[in-house]
Structure 1
Amino acid sequence: MLFLEVTLLVLYGLCLAFILGFSITQFQLTQLARRAYARGLPTEPPAPATWPRVTVQLPIYNEVFVVERLLDACAALDYPADKLHLQVLDDSTDETVGLVAARVAHYRARGLRIDQVRRSDRQGFKAGALRHGLELTNGEFIAIFDADFVPKPDFLRRTLPYFDAPDVGVVQTRWGHLNEYYSLLTQLQAFGLNAHFYLEQVGRTSGGHFINFNGTGGIWRRSCIEDAGGWHTDTLTEDLDLSYRAQLRGWRFRYLPQVVAPAELPAAMDALKSQQFRWTKGAAETARKHLLTVLRSNQTTATKLHAAFHLLNSTVFVAILLMALVSVPLVYVRVDLPQLKPLLQLSSVFLLAFVPLIHYYYTSWRLDKPLASGWRFAPKFLLFMSMSMGLTLHNARAVLLGWLGKQSAFIRTPKLGLINQQGTWRGRRYRTGSLLDGLTLLEGLLTLYFAFGIGAGLYLHDWGLIPFHLMLTIGYGLTFYYSMRHRK
C-alpha cells in the first residue's frame, strides 16, 4: 500500500515538474517580449519599387455563413490588380459551391483575377488543397486566409515590405477577434490566444528562436515553401510542420504584432473542441516528427529548449490530467501518511509553477486592454485556467493519439458569421460531433469526481488541494454544461 501511495506522489511530482519547465519558458518569453516592446517595434521598411506577384489562397469547406464575407474582404485588398490572384480552394459539398461561383463571377466581371479551384476529393484536406492550388498559380508570395478571417484592405501593403531580405520566408500577423464579446466562451478563447500573439510570438522572435506560421493571417515566400518540401499531409497542423522544416533549413520568420488580421472565434463547444483536437493532436504529431531533429540540429541550446517546449506544449494537457486524477487520492495520502510530509511539502514547491503563468497572462492582458481596471484580470484568469483544465480529458486524448501516430480526418472549425454580440444561432448544420458522446459523459463524471475531492478535503480538514479541485470542478462543469447546451 505504501508503494502505491508513494508512486502516486511521484507521478504527481513528475507532472508538476514538467509544468514547471513549461511555465519557466513562458516566463522567459514574457521577459523577452517586454524588452522588445520597450525598445519599440521596428520601423516599417519602405515599399518595394515594384510590387511582386501575390496569390491569396482561401481554403474553404462548407462555409455558407462566412464565405461571402471572406471573398468580399479579399476582393477589397488594396493591391495592383495585375499582380494579384485570388484562389478560392473550394472543397465544399453543399451550397457553398454555388455562393462561391456567383461571387467569383461577380468579381471577375470587374476585372479581378479570381478562380474557384475544385478538386475531385479532399485528399490531404487543407494541406492538400494548398499544395494543389500552388501548382495553378505563379505568385511569388502566397497569402493564406481561413474562411473566418476578414483581412483589412491594407494587409498586403503593410506586410510585403518586410520581405526585405532573401532569407525571410514568412511574415505572420496577429489575430484579432470579431466576436470576442459574444459569450463567456469566446472571451476566454480570446484571453488565451492573445497571450500567444502578444507574448509568445514576440518573445520567440526577439530571442532568435523558432516561431510558427499560424495557418492563416500570414504570407509565405513561395520559394521558402518549395525549398522546405512543400505542404505535407501527415499531421493535422500542416502550418507548424512546414514552419519547422523551413526554419531548420535556415529561413527566417518575421512576426508583426502591430498588424491585425480579424477573425471569428468558435461560439459553440463542439466547434471549439474540434479546433482544440486538431491543434493539440497536430502539435503532438509534429513533435513526434521533428523533436529529435531539432535537438540534433546546430541551433543554440536556448533555441533547442524553447523549440522543445513549443513542440511539447500540447503535452502539458496530459500532465495536468494525470496530476488532477492523482490529486484526489492524494488528499487521503496527505492525512494517512504523515511520514511523507517532507515529500508533500516538496511537491507544494512545484505549485509555484503557476506563478510565472499569472505574470505571463497578466502582461498579455495589459497589452490588449491597457485601460481596463486591474481587478477584472483575476476572475478572467481563474475562469480561463479552470476552462483549460476542463478541456484536459479531451485534449489529452488528442495528444496521445498524435504521439501514437493514429491518423485522423481534418475536421475544420465551422463558423456562423458572428460579430461581437450580434447574430444568433442559425441551426447546427455543421455539427462536428455527436449529440452526446462518451467523452462528454466522462467530463460530467469528472466534475463529480473533483467535487468529491473538495468534499474530502473539507471533511479531513486538509486545505492544500481544495483550490486545485475547485478549479477542476468549475472547469469540467463548464465544459460539460456548454457541451450539453450547444447540442441544439
Structure 2
Amino acid sequence: MPEILAFILLGIYLLGMVLIFIYSLAQGHLLLFFFKEKRNPQPTPSNPSELPQITVQLPLFNEMYVAERLIDAVSKLNYPSEKLEIQILDDSTDQTKELIQEKLKEYPTINFQYIHRTDRKGFKAGALKEGLEVAKGEFIAIFDSDFIPDPNFLLQTIPWFSDSKVGMVQSRWTHLNQHYSLLTRLQAFALDAHFLIEQMGRNRQGAFINFNGTGGIWRKETILDAGNWHDDTLTEDLDLSYRAQRKGWKFIYRPEVESPAELPPIMSAIKSQQFR
C-alpha cells in the first residue's frame, strides 16, 4: 500500500512538472514574438483624410475623488470639437453626481452628455450599453475613472482603423504612482508583463487579444455585430473581445499609445476596486 501511494504522489508530481514545462514553453513563445515586435514594429498608418465622429464613454460609480480630474483630462483631448461627444455614464448614489454637474459648468463649449441612471441594471456593462444606444460616434473610446487620457489618444489610435476589419485598438496602461510603495511596484510589474509581453506577443502572431476594459477604442459596428455588451459575466470586456474576434474582427495593441492611471496604493483599495 505505501508503494502504491508513493507512485500516485510521484505521478501527481510529474504531471505538475509537465504542466509547468508546457506553460513555460507557451510564455517563451510569447517572449519570442515580443522581441520580434520590438525589433520590427508595425508602421503607423497615415491619418484618414476626414476624421470620423467619436464618442468617449466615461463609466462612473461613486468616484467623488477622481471624477473632476477625469473631466479635466478629457476636456483636453486633441480632436475637432464638432466631431467629439463625451458621455459621462454616472451610476453614482453619493455626491459624485452633484460634483460632476457643477464641474461641467466650467466647460460650456465641450459636448458633454451627462447620463445618470437610478437603476444600475447590468452595472458597468449596462451603463455602456445604454450609452451606446444614443451615442453619435462611429467609434467608441472608453476610460475608467482612475485614468488620465493622453490628449493625443484619439489621433494616435484612429489611423489604425484604416483597415475596415480592425474592430478595436487597445493602448498600454502606464502608472502615475508606480513608485509609491512596494505594493504599487508589484502591481506595475504584473501589469507591464501583461501589456508588454503577453499583449505584444499575441498581437504579433495574430492570436486573440482582449480589450482591457479601459484605455481602448472600439468601432461601434464591431460592438453591435458581436452582440453588444452582456451583463451576465463579471468580465464583460473579455467576453465581448472574444465574441468580436470569433466574428472575424481584428484587434490591434499599440504599446506606444499610453493611458496613464493610478494604481491602488493599499490592499484595502485593491479589494474595493476588484469588488466594484
The TM-score by the shorter chain falls in which range? over 0.9
Give 2:15's aligned residue.
Answer: 14
Tell me if the contact between 1:85 and 1:114 (Cα under 8 Å) persists in the aligned partners.
Answer: yes
Larger fraction in helix? 1
Amino acid in structure 2 at the alignment position of 1:117: I
What count of residue pairs does the alignment treat as equivalent? 275
Gap runs ≥5 in structure 1 = 279-410, 413-488
What's the counterpart of residue 50 of structure 1? Answer: 50
Q: Quote the Cα distance in structure 1 between the aligned partners of 2:152 and 2:175.
A: 18
Partner of 1:27: 28
2:134: which partner in 1? 136
Superposed, which structure 2 residues align to 1:105-254 within 5 Å?
Answer: 105-107=105-107, 109=108, 111-254=109-252
Return closer, same or farther for 1:99/1:34 CA change in 2, 3 Å cut-off.
same
Give the distance between the partners of 1:170 and 1:230, measured in 2 at CA.
Answer: 14
**Structure 2 spans left out of the alignment, 5+ residues:** none
1:168–1:6 CA distance, 2 compared to 1 (3 A): same
Deviation track 1:193-224 (CA, whole Å, cap 9, x = no partner) reads: 11111111111111110011111001000000
In the alignment, structure 1 residue 60 sits paired with structure 2 residue 48: no
SS of 1:116's equivalent in the other structure is strand
Q: Secondary structure at the match of 2:134?
A: coil
Q: Deviations over 1:295-339 (max 9, x none)?
A: xxxxxxxxxxxxxxxxxxxxxxxxxxxxxxxxxxxxxxxxxxxxx
TM-score, normalised with respect to structure 1: 0.55
Instruction: Provide the C-alpha distance between the structure 2 equivalents of 1:188 and 1:6, rounded to a whole number of angstroms.
Output: 39
Number of the residue aligned with 1:37: 38
- Residue pairs, 1:336-485, within 5 angstroms: 411-412=275-276
Q: For 1:241 and 1:208, locate their aligned partners in 2 and report how far apart those are by CA, in whole Å.
A: 19
- Measured after TM superposition, the shift of residue 4 of structure 1 is 4.2
Rounded Cα–Cα distance in structure 1 between residues aligned with 2:265 and 2:6: 42
Q: In 1, Cα distance between the equivalents of 2:63 and 2:5?
A: 52
> Within 1, Cα distance between the matches of 2:192 and 2:136?
34
1:106 match: secondary structure:
coil
Deviation at 1:49, TM superposition (A): 1.2
Deviations 1:110-148 (A, max 9, x none): x11102211122111111110011012111000000011
Superposed counterparts of 1:91-102, under 5 Å: 91-102=91-102
Q: Which whole-Å CA distance do the structure 2 matches of 1:19 and 1:231 have between them?
A: 35
* Deviations, residues 130-176 of structure 1 (Å, cap 9, x unaligned): 00110121110000000110011111011111101111000111000
Cα shift readout 1:1-56 (whole Å, capped 9, x = no counterpart): 624444444334333333332221111000011011111x2222211111111000
Q: Which amino acid aligns with 2:87?
A: Q
1:183, 1:8 → 2: CA distance? Answer: 41
Q: Following the alignment from structure 2 to structure 1, what is the Cα–Cα distance between the partners of residues 13 and 234?
A: 30
Q: 1:82 to 1:265 in 2, by over 3 A?
A: same
Secondary structure of 1:30's aligned partner = helix
Please tell me the residue identity of whatever aligns with 2:44: E
Contact (CA 8 Å) 1:104, 1:115: kept in 2 or not?
no
Q: Which amino acid aligns with 1:68?
A: E
Q: Secondary structure at the match of 1:112?
A: coil
Q: Percent identity?
A: 53
- Paired residues of 1:88 and 1:116 also in contact (CA < 8 A): yes
Provide, for residues 332-368 of structure 1, a one-character-per-residue CA deviation record: whole Å limited to 9, x for no partner: xxxxxxxxxxxxxxxxxxxxxxxxxxxxxxxxxxxxx
The separation in 1 between residues aligned to 2:262 and 2:250, in whole angstroms, is: 29
The secondary structure found in structure 2 opposite 1:163 is helix
Structure having the larger proportion of residues in strand: 2
| Distance in 2 separating the partners of 1:18 and 1:132 | 43
**Backbone CA RMSD of aligned residues:** 1.5
Measured in 2, the distance between the counterparts of 1:231 and 1:167 equals: 20
- Is 2:266 aligned against 1:268? yes
CA distance in 2, matches of 1:38, 1:263: 27
